[in-house]
Amino acid sequence: MAVYFLAQSPSALQQLKVEHQNIRRGKQKDEYLNWEDYKKMEFTQNVINEALRCGNVVKFVHRKALKDVKFRDYLIPSGWKVLPVFSAAHLDPSLHASALEFHPWRWEKIQSQDQTCKRFTPFGGGSRCCPGSELGKLEVAIFLHHLVQSFRWRTEDDDQPIAFPYVEFQRGLPLHLEHCPIN
């Protein structure tokens, strides 16, 4: 999803490139990234959050009401299956301004997780929350570090993500890749 959205957002891609070039500067060509480098990837985290918000890789989770639950004017009877649909909150304009726009900069203003925990739940929540969330983000950050510094890419004009109900692309997201390493 990050690769797709970055192809549509040249300004985000440019800022991401600069962040990773700055991290690479001063390191040997094949030197591994370390924890200090990862902590510098602030804009990268914004891009990842925004790709998760817009992309909705996991659209909903399965829950069961263990007792009668009153929610506003509704009663959810004990035993009923409940499907919290994350994309409903992620794409709700009352919770995220210009919700349909890929805008990584929106995450710059977020100070703490408390501000987002109910309107941004790409990894679920509560005791079944995804245990791989930090690993997943780390892997994407390292992948992007190498991708943005060595490749240019574009997607097909008529390709777009669909939710059916899992996310996939109408044309399978073929990429036109060009290898163009910096230095």
| 132 is an interface residue for ligand HEM by CB under 6 A | yes
Percent helix / strand / coil, the chain, rounded to 5 = 40, 15, 45
Q: According to the annotation, is 130 in a ligand binding site?
A: yes
Using CB under 6 A, pick the residue from 37, 106, 119, 124 that binds ligand HEM: 124
Q: Which of 122, 144, 145, 155 binds ligand HEM (CB under 6 A)?
A: 122
Find the part of the chain contacting ligand HEM (CB under 6 A) among 37-45, 87-95, 98-106, 127-135: 127-135
CB 1, min distance to ligand HEM, A: 8
Q: Tell me, by CB under 6 A, how many residues bind ligand HEM.
A: 15
Candidate ranges 13-21, 57-65, 149-157, 162-170; the one touching ligand HEM (CB under 6 A): 57-65
| Angle, alpha carbons 65-113-85 (nearest 5°) | 35
Position 130 contacts ligand HEM (CB under 6 A): yes
Q: Which is nearer to ligand HEM, 75 or 129 (CB)?
A: 129
SS (H, E, C) 97-130: CCCCCCCHHHHHHCCCHHHCCCCCCCCCCHHHCC
Residue 136 makes contact with ligand HEM by CB under 6 A: yes
Shortest Å, Cβ 105 to ligand HEM = 21
Give the other-Cβ count within 10 Å of 144's Cβ: 23
Cβ-proximal residues to 17 (8 Å cutoff; 6+ apart), any chain: 148, 149
Residues 78, 64: contact at Cβ < 8 Å? no
Give whichever of 24 and 47 is closer to ligand HEM, judged by the CB atom: 47
3-state secondary structure 58-109: CCECCEECCCCEEECCEEECCCCEECCEHHHHHCCCCCCCCCCCCCHHHHHH
Is 104 a residue that touches ligand HEM (CB under 6 A)? no
- The length of the chain is 183
165 binds ligand HEM (CB under 6 A): no
Residues that bind ligand HEM (CB under 6 A): 57-58, 61, 122-126, 128-132, 135-136
Binding residues for heme: 130
